[in-house]
Structures are given as C-alpha cells and as structure tokens.
Amino acid sequence: MNMQENQNYNSLEDLEKSNEITDAIKSQILNAVEKELRKNPNTKSISLDIKSLINVNDDKTKVSVKGAFVLAFVDNLAELDLNNSEFRVLMYILKIMEYGNLVNLSQKIVCDALSLDKSKVSRAFRSLEKKDILVKKEGHLFVNSNICCKGLAHKMTQEKRDNLISCRKENDTIKNMYQ
C-alpha cells in the first residue's frame, strides 16, 4: 500500500476513490468508526489514524519464501483419512512435485528417501490413487488440485494451468475448491 504520509480524507468515499483501500481495510475502518460512535454518540466528526488500523509497509521490504511450498485446501486435507505411510508418501510427493502438480518420480525414489519398503510405498500409491488424491491423466501422475496446488496459476505456462484444471477430481470426501 502506497498511502501518502499524513494524507487526509474527508470521507470513506474519498479514500475509496484513491484506489488505496481494500474491502478488508474498509471493514476495519468502519469498525473503528462504529466503535468511536458508540463511545461518543453525539460527535460530529471522527479522526482516525488509518496507519494504525492497517499494515502499511513503509520500508518497502520484500518478503520471499525460501523453501518449497504448496497451497493447500485444508477442508479437503482434513477429510483424507490417511494412514502414516500414505501421509509420509503424500508429503514427500508434495515436496518434490512440479509446478502444475505433475508428479515426476518413481516409487523407488520414494522408498529410498523415506526408508520405507517397496510394498508399503506401492500400497500407499494405490491407496492415494483410489482416494482420488493422486490422479492419472494421459500417462502422467498428478496430485489432485482440489487437495493442493504448487505454484500460482497466473505465473504458470498455459500447459501447467491446463494440468491443474485437468487433475481436479471430486468425490464424497474431496469437494470442488474452485469457482
């Protein structure tokens, strides 16, 4: 937010016209105004320090993420009912999967990385596929994008965005998380 120092706004409309307000900020401002009105119901004007209500990044410090991450849909994750092996395999897959949710690794790599025997990893993969957590499409394996996604769609190639769309699956446990 590039709100000018000591900028004065005579009304919410003026602030809104400045294109420096989001719905969340507007809500915070309205709550502060209502609080002041409850304290002083006969007041004719209210002065608020907007910077104290919102987080203004004055020093323009950029925040970046250093480690691997995914965007997870916690409502669906909470309902997966995974055993320990399935959970460990899924977490490793999420760490390694490519942008667009493509899983490009062998079960042997998972066995070695997690020190699990081949049969446990094989059962975990089959179970994750049966539960629609892992999705096979056109000879490739993907993580269901209703569970999580790796990368921001607007920064991906069209092919990777298409992968995210094509690997969405729903069932009784996994709900559609997109509009």
pLDDT digits (tens, 9 = 90+) for 52-74: 555 555 566 666 667 777 889 99
The DSSP code for 139 is: T
Identity (one letter) of the amino acid at 60? Answer: K
The DSSP code for 65 is: -
CATH number of 71-166: 1.10.10.10
Regarding pTM above 0.85, the answer is no
Q: How many CB atoms are located within 10 Å of the residue 124 CB?
A: 26
Helix 84-96 to helix 107-114 angle, to the nearest 10 degrees?
Answer: 110
Q: Which region among 118-122, 124-128, 150-154 has the lowest average model confidence (pLDDT)?
A: 150-154
Domain with CATH 1.10.10.10 in the chain: 71-166
At CA 134, angle to CA 129 and CA 136, rounded to 5? Answer: 85
Measure the CA–CA gap between 87 and 103, rounded to whole angstroms.
16
